[in-house]
């Protein structure tokens, strides 16, 4: 049996259903490729983080990382679940505000926020700006002085923790483009500069140690390092943080080989880690913020593709082409990401054929799944690729001028279009004659 997430199951007709909706019917109604999001699963994940903090009596903020997937409907869902969001560009900020996020619950991240973006964020009264570098301290300070405003800020620290994960998505180590490095003393210099600036209201420190992390160890190591430096700053400058933001990176299941902790377990580990360190150092227990992206949205998403051409090279390979590919999911091509899948319109009882699932883009690297055992297929079949909810649609592009897919939200037997499929007219909308 394939891995089924959330509400996904097969009905009597042997069709995959998600949120009580038949994916074969959805494919007919909206076309393929189609992203289907299991809203109940998103809610369950969101509550897993939020309620664990609350049950432990810890002041918290769970901030969804927009970059994993965002659209107006997603922000509406976040508001319903009382999550905040982070944004990393003017475009994400615009979408969040249009989607009804309250500005107070938005935090702004990024290693090269432009002057225009920072001004926009200040004008919109975003709740928090996470300062990433010295250039930004000056830029933001100048903007605030011009506007005669103050802004709540945190600053991002690279604590020098190597989370065991893929190199491309490693951001907590010293050699990183993100944040202020602790070892060289830059983080301390930044603290002094920010504290001395009356337009910047420093609320705390942030770190983000990586992505797709399966165990609590990396977070505990980061908590320990963060508290050590915070305690140094308390002694040297008499400065104590109100908020400790431990970032995101909580792992999810793409295939059976993946075995991440549950959201509840990550939260408990972090809270206990912070409590232990605070007691040890006699440091006031701060509010704890986290920024899960993937762990809220990845497993909730399934991409439905139609099967097209197949190429069988005797004794070499069986290629199965689908009607999408690296334009709607670039992760396999970009970082060798591994996915699983199965037929959506019939239960693949005997998986007889070792196949390679490829897309329709003009690149040999346009591979979605390198090796997967599937039954013999024909062009009436639908292929469901699972756990595609994070960094799939959000990284979608128009390579080869293929159209970006539609996105549909499903819950309790209801389907709702969240993002319509692109049209040829959309494709030339920006072109000037």
Ligand X SMILES: *Cc1c(COP(=O)(O)O)cnc(C)c1O
Q: Is 291 in the site for ligand X (CB under 6 A)?
A: yes
Q: Is 247 in the site for ligand X (CB under 6 A)?
A: yes
Q: Which of 160, 248, 324, 389 binds ligand X (CB under 6 A)?
A: 248
Contact 260, 206 (CB under 8 A): no
Q: How many residues bind ligand X (CB under 6 A)?
A: 16
Q: Is 250 in the site for ligand X (CB under 6 A)?
A: yes
Which DSSP state fits 199? Answer: T
Q: Is 295 in the site for ligand X (CB under 6 A)?
A: yes
Q: Is 278 a catalytic residue?
A: no
Q: Is 405 helix (H, G, I), strand (E, B) or coil?
A: coil
Structure tokens at 265: 């377990």
Residue with tokens 């091509």: 333
Judged by CB under 6 A, the stretch of 26-34, 287-295, 327-335, 378-386 that binds ligand X is 287-295
Q: Is 65 in the site for ligand X (CB under 6 A)?
A: yes
Judged by CB under 6 A, the stretch of 45-53, 60-68, 89-97, 185-193 that binds ligand X is 60-68
Judged by CB under 6 A, the stretch of 25-33, 113-121, 289-297, 417-425 that binds ligand X is 289-297
Structure tokens at 320: 């199965």
Strand 9-10's sheet: what is its strand order?
A: 9-10, 16-18, 21-22
C-alpha–C-alpha distance, residues 302 and 284, integer Å = 43
Comparing every residue's Cβ against ligand X, the nearest one is 293
Torsion angles phi and psi, residue 75, rounded to 5: -65, -35
| Percentages of the chain per state (helix, strand, coil), in multiples of 5 | 35, 25, 40
**Nearest-approach distance from CB 294 to ligand X, in angstroms:** 3
Judged by CB under 6 A, the stretch of 62-70, 304-312, 367-375, 397-405 that binds ligand X is 62-70
* C-beta closer to ligand X: residue 156 or 346: 156
- Residues between 3 and 22 that touch ligand X (CB under 6 A): none
Site string for ligand X, 191-210 (x = CB under 6 A): -----------------x--
> What count of Cα atoms within 13 Å lies in the side-chain half-sphere of residue 135?
9
Q: Is 294 in the site for ligand X (CB under 6 A)?
A: yes
Q: Which residues contact 95 (CB under 8 A, 6 or more apart)?
A: 66, 70, 71, 72, 75, 87
Q: Is 111 helix (H, G, I), strand (E, B) or coil?
A: coil
* C-beta closer to ligand X: residue 348 or 388: 388
C-alpha–C-alpha distance, residues 37 and 305, integer Å = 14
Element at 189 (helix H, strand E): helix 186-195
- Residues between 380 and 399 that touch ligand X (CB under 6 A): 390
C-alpha–C-alpha distance, residues 348 and 362, integer Å = 29
Judged by CB under 6 A, the stretch of 8-16, 137-145, 254-262, 286-294 that binds ligand X is 286-294
* C-beta closer to ligand X: residue 361 or 391: 391
Q: Is 45 in the site for ligand X (CB under 6 A)?
A: no
C-alpha–C-alpha distance, residues 285 and 150, integer Å = 26
Contact 37, 76 (CB under 8 A): no
Q: Which of 48, 90, 160, 249 binds ligand X (CB under 6 A)?
A: 249
**Nearest-approach distance from CB 116 to ligand X, in angstroms:** 21
From the candidates 21, 70, 207, 362, give the one annotated as an active-site residue.
362
**Nearest-approach distance from CB 168 to ligand X, in angstroms:** 12
Q: Is 299 in the site for ligand X (CB under 6 A)?
A: no
Structure tokens at 328: 């709607």
Residues with a known catalytic role:
362
Binding site for ligand X (CB under 6 A): 65, 67-68, 109, 208, 211, 247-250, 291-295, 390
């Amino acid at each position: 049996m394939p891995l089924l997430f959330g509400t996904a199951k097969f009905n009597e007709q042997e069709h995959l259903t998600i949120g009580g909706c038949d994916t074969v019917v959805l494919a007919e109604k909206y076309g393929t490729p189609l992203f289907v999001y299991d809203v109940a699963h998103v809610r369950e994940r969101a509550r897993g983080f939020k309620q664990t903090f609350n049950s432990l009596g810890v002041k918290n903020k769970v901030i969804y990382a927009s970059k994993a997937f965002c659209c107006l409907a997603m922000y509406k869902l976040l508001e319903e679940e009382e999550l905040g969001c982070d944004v990393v560009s003017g475009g994400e900020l615009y979408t969040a505000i249009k989607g009804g996020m309250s500005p107070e619950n938005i935090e702004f991240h990024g290693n090269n926020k432009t002057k225009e973006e920072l001004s926009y964020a200040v004008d919109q009264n975003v709740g928090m700006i996470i300062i990433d570098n010295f250039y930004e301290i000056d830029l933001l300070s100048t903007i605030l002085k011009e506007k005669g405003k103050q802004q709540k800020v945190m600053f991002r620290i690279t604590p020098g923790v190597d989370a065991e994960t893929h190199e491309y998505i490693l951001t907590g180590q010293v050699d990183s483009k993100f944040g202020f490095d602790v070892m060289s003393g830059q983080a301390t210099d930044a603290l002094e500069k920010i504290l001395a600036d009356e337009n910047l209201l420093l609320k705390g420190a942030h770190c983000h140690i990586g992505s797709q992390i399966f165990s609590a160890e990396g977070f505990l190591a980061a908590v320990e390092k963060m508290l050590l430096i915070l305690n140094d700053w308390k002694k040297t400058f008499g400065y104590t943080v109100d908020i400790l933001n431990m970032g995101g990176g909580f792992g999810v299941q793409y295939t059976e080989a993946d075995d991440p902790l549950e959201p509840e377990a990550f939260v408990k580990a972090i809270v206990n880690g912070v409590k232990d360190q605070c007691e040890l150092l006699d440091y006031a227990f701060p509010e704890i913020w986290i920024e899960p992206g993937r762990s809220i949205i990845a497993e909730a998403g399934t991409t439905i593709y139609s099967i097209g051409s197949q190429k069988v090279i005797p004794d070499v390979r069986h290629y199965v082409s689908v009607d999408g590919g690296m334009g709607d999911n670039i992760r396999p091509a970009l970082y060798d990401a591994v996915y699983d899948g199965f037929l959506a319109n019939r239960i693949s009882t005997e998986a007889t054929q070792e196949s390679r699932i490829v897309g329709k883009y003009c690149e040999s690297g346009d591979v979605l799944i390198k090796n997967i055992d599937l039954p013999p297929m024909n062009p009436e079949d639908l292929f469901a690729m699972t756990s595609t909810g994070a960094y799939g649609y959000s990284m979608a592009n128009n390579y080869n001028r293929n159209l970006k897919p539609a996105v549909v939200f499903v819950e309790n037997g209801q389907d709702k279009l969240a993002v319509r499929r692109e049209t040829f007219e959309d494709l030339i909308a920006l072109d000037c004659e």
